[in-house]
């Protein structure tokens, strides 16, 4: 998850900006699901 965050907000921001809108939305959705799953795993 940290790698995805780095990709989206860190040095990968330029690369992220070059992705198609569909791919960006898919990555945002994936990140959101992973974040929710992680929160539930930590605090069930």
What's the domain range around 5? 1-42
pLDDT in tens, the chain (44 residues): 666 666 666 667 777 788 889 999 999 999 999 999 999 999 98
Q: Indicate the number of domains in the chain.
A: 1
Contacts for 19 with CB less than 8 Å, ≥ 6 apart: 27
Largest Cα–Cα separation, the chain = 37
Residue-level pLDDT at 15 = 74
Residue-level pLDDT at 16 = 77
Contacts for 5 with CB less than 8 Å, ≥ 6 apart: 31
């Amino acid at each position: 998850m940290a790698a995805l965050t780095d990709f989206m907000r860190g040095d990968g921001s330029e690369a992220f900006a070059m992705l198609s809108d569909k791919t960006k939305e898919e990555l945002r959705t994936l990140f959101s699901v992973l974040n929710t799953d992680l929160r539930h795993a930590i605090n069930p």
